Structure 1
Amino acid sequence: MFFEMGGCFHEETLRMTAANKALRDKSDSIRSNLSKINAAVVRFNLNYNGGGTMYAHEGNRNEGTYPFYINQYVKMTLGSDNKPNEAGYDKSLAEINRKLEKLRHAKAYDFDNSEKSRALYQVDKRTEEMKLYVEEMMESIQGLTSVLQVKDQSAVYILNIISNSIPSVDIDPTDEIKGLIPKGWHILEGATGDAAQAKGDLNKDGITDIVAIIEGPPITKEVPSRALIIALGNEDGTYTNSITADKAVLKNDEGGVFGDPFDSITIDRGSVLLKFYGGSNWRWYYSYRFRFQDNDWYLIGATLGSYFNGDRTMDNADEEDYNLLTGDYIIQTVDENGNVITETGNRGARKLIPLKDFIAGEKQFLD
């Protein structure tokens, strides 16, 4: 069906370009590069997923729809509304490059993540072949951009078609920033079994950044060291280490009877939120907020709380909350009758503590 419909659009395109050989040659070249990209995508998907006729069928469907896309491109090129769009062109191309960079780091799907499975399903071989097909995509896209030449609306239209055709892949966060993690270290596994990491935009550039808690190798008679690493994303899909704070994370044995005090790490409202929880009958919790400003990372907020586990919870704990940007604070205490007493005030603006100097569990910000 798609090929029959495509044939109709192709005939119309031939009529529209009958008196414009340059445009016909250009549209034919665009179609040729789209087909090359499509073929590389199909082969990438087959290796990434370990087979599946659905990817071949999807490739055939794409081939059948390309005459329609080329038809629309020609109409846009000949139309009066085809205005220059350099910003849109550069943005679309950057998105394509970001996706391709992610594909370069992808690994072939492993059905049960075992040595036997890797050998049986040729995971390593498939991964290497995937990289070759990504290179083919990149070469064809480079050839296509050289054909497009003009950064206008019609060119953006073609780039968006390419961007939408590039497959999405799951990347282990360790793979994305593994080059930034010291040898022998690893991303901490939280209490839920998930990696202690989060993604979001921390420096307002529209690119995804990664924060993670990393843990060092075991040391004789000592628990492993921990650190907070913040990796800022680049336009090409790679990451740059912005900071590794080696005193910002409590160790495994610093949670008291409760055990490992690490609670969570998230990205919230453009800042890093790091939480700890520990104690025994008396429970305590800390929450720290860090933000990138003035070309550095700073502690901008802190919440400290405690309560007796026998008759209270975090909902009615003694708690101190400090906004270190404004100086505002809220101190909540609970008397022996269970009444909540709240004190608010302002300590005045003070010099912020850089993340590199921050020590988890200490009240430096109150000095």
Structure 2
Amino acid sequence: MKKALLLFILIAFGFNKNQEESILVDIYGDLTNDKVEERVVVTELAEEGEYGKIRLLQIFTKKNNKWIELANSKSAILESEAGGFSGDPFISKSLKITNGILEISHDGGSSWKWFITHKFRYQNNKFELIGYKYLFGKPCEYFETTDFNLSTGTVHFEKEFETCENKEQITTKDENENFVKKISPLPNLNTINVKKIKIVTPKYKNEFYL
């Protein structure tokens, strides 16, 4: 009788746990350049992090007609409340596969808005970061844009300052620069949003983080 009761409790607990998890994204596309589609799944877990529920990203490849996990990450997709005042920074359309590249976008903020995109390519037996784009700013303060091609090391950075009167823009000042920054090893799905890499622009000494 005790064994039966214990089994019932374990089954009920497992069912409730699964009920607390939900699949946010389930898409297909060729990520390994073998003309066979991989499967990418994002699951919102019951597990809580510092900024809400943790999301698990899993990438599966097909071998012998079975799905085998190729990679996973709990840091590539931001937590459910990491968007600040804007709420959830991630929606289903934030993840896509284009020309073999896995692209993940997030956005958030309140008066200060931000938008970020990471692009990953499967190379060296892992999904490495090859592209990074970041936009941040507030009207009548400044807007900055960072576009970093990690494959070539080329960085384009723009910062536009605005001066306003009665919420109307009256003057602007720009800080634009292009430079090369090589990073080795490249960040990957398991280090992104975990190990921050600080980069300082050489001319105007602006800072941004991968």
Q: TM-score, normalised by structure 1?
A: 0.42
> Residue in 1 aligned with 2:187?
353
Structure (1 or 2) with the greater helix fraction: 1
- The 3 A distance-change label for structure 1 pair 325 and 218 is closer
Q: Which residue of the other structure, out of 101, 104, 118, is the alignment partner of 1:288?
A: 118
Contact 2:115 2:135 in 1 (8 A): yes
CA distance, structure 1, for counterparts of residue 128 and residue 49 of structure 2: 33
Q: Which residue of the other structure, out of 35, 39, 48, is the alignment partner of 1:206?
A: 35
- The 3 A distance-change label for structure 1 pair 365 and 299 is farther
CA RMSD, Structure 1 to Structure 2 (Å) = 2.8
Question: SS at the partner of 2:179?
Answer: strand
Residue deviations 1:90-122, cap 9 Å, x none?
A: xxxxxxxxxxxxxxxxxxxxxxxxxxxxxxxxx
1:239 aligns with 2:73: no
Residue deviations 1:101-150, cap 9 Å, x none?
A: xxxxxxxxxxxxxxxxxxxxxxxxxxxxxxxxxxxxxxxxxxxxxxxxxx
Structure 2 residue runs without a partner (length 5+): 1-16, 163-170, 200-208
> Residue in 1 aligned with 2:109?
279
- The 3 A distance-change label for structure 1 pair 332 and 221 is closer
Contact 2:131 2:148 in 1 (8 A): yes
Contact 2:72 2:189 in 1 (8 A): no
Question: SS at the partner of 2:82?
Answer: coil
Question: SS at the partner of 1:257?
Answer: helix
- The 3 A distance-change label for structure 1 pair 326 and 222 is closer
TM alignment of 1:27-66, pairs within 5 A:
none
Question: SS at the partner of 2:190?
Answer: helix
Q: TM-score, normalised by structure 2?
A: 0.71
Identical-pair percentage: 26
> Aligned-pair distance for 1:250?
0.9
> Residue in 2 aligned with 1:322?
148
Residue deviations 1:330-360, cap 9 Å, x none?
A: 0011122345543111013532123222226
Question: SS at the partner of 1:227?
Answer: strand
Structure 1 residue runs without a partner (length 5+): 1-182, 189-195
1:255 aligns with 2:83: yes
- The 3 A distance-change label for structure 1 pair 197 and 343 is farther
Contact 2:52 2:82 in 1 (8 A): no
